[in-house]
Amino acid sequence: MANDHGSHASPDHAHEHPTWKQYKWVALILTVITAFEVWAYYVPALVASPFFVPMLLIMSAAKFVIVVMFYMHLKYDNRLFKALFTGPLIIAMATLIGLLFLLATHKAEGGIG
Amino acid sequence: MATVAASPTYTDSAGSHRTGIMDWLTTVDHKKIGTLYLHTALFFFLVGGVEAVIMRAQLMGPNGTLVSAEVFNQLFTMHGTTMVFLVIMPLSAAFFNFLIPLQIGARDVAFPRLNAFSYWVYLFGGLFITIPIFFNAAPDGGWFAYTPLTGREYSPGQNLNFWVLGIQILGISSLAAAFNFATTIINMRAPGMTLMRMPMFTWMSFVVQWLIILAFPVITIALFFMQFDRFFGTNFYAVSAGADPLLWQHLFWIFGHPEVYILILPAFGLVSEVLPTYSRKPLFGYAVVAYSGILIGFLGFGVWAHHMFAVGMGPIADTVFGVTTMLIAIPTGVKIFNWIFTMWGGSIRFTTAMKFAIALIAMFTIGGISGITHAAPPSDMQQTDTYYIVAHFHYVLYGGAIMGIFAGLYHYFPKWYGRKMDERLGTWHFWLNFIAFNLTFFPMHFAGMLGMPRRIYTYDAGQGWELFNRLSSYGAFLMAPAFLIFLWNFFRSKTRGEVAGDNPWDAATLEWSIPSPPPEYNFAQIPMVTSRYPLWDITHPERMAGIPHSAEGWDDAKQRTGEHVTSGGKHEADVAPMHIESERRSAKELGIPMPNPTIKPLWVAAGILVLFSSLPVMYAGKNMIAFAMMAIGGSMFVGFLYAWLTTPMEDAH
Amino acid sequence: MAHTAAESHAPTHHYTTTGLDNRKVAIWMFIGSECMLFASLISTYLIYKGKNLVGPLPHEAWTNPQTGQVMPAILDIPVTSVSTFVLLMSSLSMVLALAAVENRGKPVPPGLGGRILSSSKLWLFMTCLMGAIFLGFQAYEFTSFVHEGLTIRRNLFGSSFFTLTGFHGAHVTAGVIWLGTLLAIDMKRGLQPKDAVWVDIAALYWHFVDVVWIAIFTLVYLIQ
């Protein structure tokens, strides 16, 4: 495949990426969290508790961060990439929260759910 | 090579280029793509201007009968859409293309073929959205296209389809260009060109690319919802299904407010180049100007709902958005003062470019102050949807963005074409334009305060609006000849203007250290930069007192050990300390590899056009033709994209 | 220019200010842009949650006004949990594919495990396969929903659900095609460490599509 500016073993790989051993553990942790999430969905007492939604959000965020850090190598890669990702992510989250605050609060008339 | 030649040689043909039509269709040179953007945008400027003049003729007196209400709706919709998406953004893009690589000391953008693709998509999208007006089928829902008015129920015709799909096509162009320029600025700077030494135009462009990257996806989604509602009967904006019609307004303005900074910041960047040059002084408070640009961009994502105070969001939301809107006036005001202090104590040359730059400061300040008056929700309630708002945003977009772009055009014309634009005609253009602009838009403040609503196609006598409308119309009729003078001057000066030389304005940044017009490779040797005003280090060291110098970033140059061959067969280093280049040779002689011209980006863009064009055909009920078009467009897109990606950009990899 | 000349002048070309590859910088910005795209889609889904005038509903039983029948909630958590797991595992095979390409040319670790781990073809194929399985699950889910009366026109949930998950599915499809192309090149001439950036940017895209699904799975499927 051709490319726009030469292909070479780029210096951004100067940092050593993790190996199979770590990748394997990461996959295991992701599986365990997912299994726990699905289990929680089937425990009525948990679903009814006020901790259910925050708990799911935290677990989901944890999986998100683990994949981004280890599989997308953000933990090991150049700092610039961290900035390029977290900046937009923060603006996206703030926009999402702002929109929910503005629009999700009032219920439509006659809504059944 | 690196000598200050006494007599710069100007040749009419810029190097060894072919100049046939195929050369333009296949170019991947950022300077030529910039030229294409510039000319296309000037054409659309003329179209948008004609639309405005027709509207002003209709509104000149009460009960005007020149056009019908339907046509008037199409005129104001297309005037806004054209000026925002087809004129100001592409004029800025023309400068991004032409200037960014030159200002940072690069030989091209990061992805030259993607750059050509962006232009062709823009051209096709522009034609797609403009042509329907000649068939009385142009979009007619305003440039903001509020739902549910623009849904299928209330706008059953094809008109809005062209708007939804056209803006979608233009979004592809803007996003592709934004990734390209942001990568270029991050990654293609010359050794020593640290972030805090970048010319201010490049800084403001950098902020703008980020605004595009983050704001355009939101309008893309909002448009998809509208598209799905219109074509597939979904319920995103269908009130009858329980939908909230405000969703569109919110998504539109989350995009729409950063969009206004996308329009104004490049002009801010241009005047930040023009003012120091003609004041013969460094920019006052460089770092503060850069930081306030970033702050404007960042805060720009937190003010969108000030466009919606009238819909009743409740006291908390109103307060929050009112406060953030007032906050954003601070970095903007900071810039105004920095420009004034740049001129303070300088020995000013009142060239045409300088006049336009000063006009921007004054006119934008008026627009900014009227903007503050609708940052407060109670006061906005009186002003919203009146001509006061029309006056406000023309003061910021015409008085700001367009004045800044004119300043940039007069300033950079010599670099672009090797000749100057005529200063006498330029002065005529400036004064006529300045007077006409104020005559058109200042009275609109009064008409608005007297309650004249926006977007009405006619009005009754006796409401106190006649005088102000008459004045506005006279102004618009005067603005047209002013623009024609500009066009005459522009096209004439390309071949008949005074030969300019490489640095006619005695400017300070890298683009002026190379021949005018620049050779295809831009820099024979990439300069190693030690300060913010590298050229003044050589030509005007006396202006550089207090400007920090260092060899910071030169370590990078060590990576850059390449040599190239000069015509004498001698090898020369690829980088050299800051120097002036006035010899013009071909890239081949110098041994500088340049990307090959290619037609493929044009065909990929054409595939996108065919794909999108199939949807109105489907809307008209001709499903078989639509599916055939989808198949053709889709295979053009995939096939030419594959051919593009599998063809090396340069020979011999 | 002759090949040798290109070699000797190559550094001119490869120089970048940050030392990073242009393509990698661009793909990270593209991912940043995609964050806004999916934030808009997810916001819309959440805003319209609980505002439906008619069923089917995601988590609640509902009464069909025509027949008076009480219909169950429509989301099928067990099936989606399986497809979620498949997509998560595809990220694992993706990192292994990248590592295999980057390490090509280095001595292969001894034993069967070492040979398997260094096969970029195997891991690219596995990633494509798992992506395709995920899409198969989605196709099954969509058709069964339509069968149960939930179309994209039916209610706000139908419109926003099909659009959100459909956009994600379109991203997965693009990713499968992208990775399939890389696999074809690998089969034809073998991907070398110098091609690693191509695999790297495809991998970043693929993982991003995966993390978007992590968010969707929680926000759409699990939270009631």
Give per-residue pLDDT as tens, B97-130: 999 999 999 999 999 999 999 999 999 999 999 9
| Residues B452 and B580 placed together within one structural domain of the fold | no
Residue B13 lies in a domain: no
- Burial B593-628, CB ≥16 within 10 A → b, else e: bbbebbbbbbbbbbbbbbbbbbbbbbbeeeeeebee
Report how far residue B536's alpha carbon sits from residue B532's, in angstroms, rounded to the nearest whole number: 9
Q: Is residue B543 part of a domain?
A: yes
B432 and B541 share a domain?
no
The reply to whether B98 and B44 lie within a common domain is: yes
Rounded to an integer, what is the distance from CA A39 to the centroid of its chain? 20
Please provide the DSSP assignment of B296-322 as one string.
HHHHGGG-GGGGGGGG---HHHHHHHH
Rg, chain A, Cα only: 20
Q: Is C48 on the interface with B (CB under 8 A)?
A: yes
Pseudo-torsion of CA B133, B73, B40, B214, nearest 10°?
-130
Same structural domain, B415 and B550: no
CB of A104 less than 8 A from some CB of B: no
Q: Is the pLDDT of residue B653 over 50?
A: no
Answer yes or no: is B424 within a domain. yes
Give the integer Cα–Cα distance in Å for B191 and B210.
Answer: 24
**Is B608 found in the same domain as B476?**
no
CB contacts of C11 in chain B (<8 Å) are 559-562, 574
Pick out chain A residues at pLDDT < 70: 1-17, 105-113
Please check the confidence at residue B15 and state whether its pLDDT lies above 50: no
Domain that holds residue B552: 520-590
In this complex, is the C-beta atom of A38 within 8 Å of any C-beta atom belonging to chain C?
yes
Judge: B179–C34 Cβ closer than 8 Å, yes or no. no
Contact C130, C86 (CB under 8 A): yes
Residue A81: closest C-alpha in chain C: C28
pLDDT digits (tens, 9 = 90+) for B427-462: 999 999 999 999 999 999 999 999 999 999 999 999
Helix (H) or strand (E) holding B219: helix B200-232
B410 and B343, same structural domain? Answer: yes
Q: What is the per-residue pLDDT across B78-90, written as a single tens digit (0 to 9) for each?
A: 999 999 999 999 9
Contact between A4 and B114 using a beta-carbon 8 Å cutoff: yes
**Is some CB atom of chain B closer than 8 A to the CB atom of C40?**
yes
Same domain, B524 and B610: no
Contact C44 B221 (CB under 8 A): yes
Question: Which of A2, A6, A80 has the CB atom closest to B646's CB atom?
Answer: A2
In a domain, B5, yes or no: no
Picking from B381-385, B463-467, B480-484, B558-562, which range would have the lowest pLDDT averaged per residue? B558-562
- Residue C9: its pLDDT value, please? 35
C53 with A4: Cβ contact below 8 A: no
Find the angle CA(B573)-CA(C20)-CA(B534) to the nearest 5 degrees.
45
Chain C residues with CB under 8 Å of A96 CB are 39, 42-43, 46
List, for chain C, all residue ranges whose pLDDT scores fall below the cut of 70. 1-14
Taken in order of first residue, the domains within chain C and their CATH numbers are 21-222 (1.20.120.80)
Shared domain for B403 and B549, answered yes or no, is no
Chains touching A (at least 3 CB pairs under 8 A) are B, C
Residues with Cβ within 8 Å of B53's Cβ and at least 6 positions away in sequence, in order, are B476, B477, B480
Q: What phi, psi does C187 have (nearest 5°)?
A: -70, -35
Give the integer Cα–Cα distance in Å for C176 and B243. 34
Q: CB-based contact (8 Å) between A108 and chain B?
A: yes
Supply the CATH number for residue B346's domain. 1.20.210.10
**Position B7 in a domain:** no
User: What's A71's DSSP letter?
Assistant: I
Beta strands (DSSP E) in B307-440 are: none
CA distance B123 to B173: 9
Which residue from C16, C32, C37 is facing B187, i.e. has the nearest CB? C16
Q: Is residue B208 domain-shared with residue B329, that is, in the same domain?
A: yes
CB pairs A-C closer than 8 Å: 184
* Residues of B recognised as catalytic: 79, 108, 143, 173-174, 257, 259, 261, 272, 306-307, 332, 335, 454
| Confidence band of B592 (pLDDT split at 50, 70, 90) | confident
Same domain, B476 and B624: no
Please say which residue of B569, B590, B611 terminates a domain.
B590
Question: Could you tell me if B279 and B346 are in contact, meaning their C-beta atoms sit under 8 angstroms apart?
Answer: yes
Residue B651: inside a domain? no
Residues 6+ apart with CB under 8 A from C129: none
Residue reference for tokens 């241009």: B270
Q: Which residues of C touch B561 (CB under 8 A)?
A: 11
Distance from CA of A80 to the nearest CA of B (A): 10
Considering the domain architecture, whether residues B396 and B306 belong to the same structural domain is answered as yes
pLDDT for C3: 34
Would you state the structure tokens that stand for residue B269, as one six-digit string?
A: 């960047």
Average pLDDT of chain B, as a whole number? 92
- Domain membership of residue B650 (yes or no) is no
Q: Does residue B320 share a domain with residue B225? A: yes
| pLDDT at residue B558, as a whole number | 63
φ, ψ of residue B474 to 5 degrees: the values are: -60, -45
Q: Is the pTM of this model over 0.90?
A: yes
The alpha-carbon gap from B642 to the nearest alpha carbon of chain A, in Å, equals: 10
Half-sphere exposure of B579 (CA within 13 A, CB side): 17
Q: Does the residue B504 lie in any domain?
A: no
* 3-state SS, residue B123: helix
Q: Are B547 and B531 in contact (CB under 8 A)?
A: yes
- Per residue in B204-220, pLDDT (tens digit) is 999 999 999 999 999 99
> How many structural domains comprise chain B?
3
In this prediction, residue A2 carries a pLDDT of 36
Residues whose CB is less than 8 angstroms from the CB of residue B620 and which lie 6 or more positions away in sequence, other chains included: B158
Specify the range with the lowest mean pLDDT, choosing from B204-213, B488-497, B542-551: B542-551
Confidence of residue B11 (pLDDT cuts 50, 70, 90): very low
Between CA B592 and CA C48 the distance in angstroms is 57
**pLDDT exceeds cutoff 60 at B606:** yes
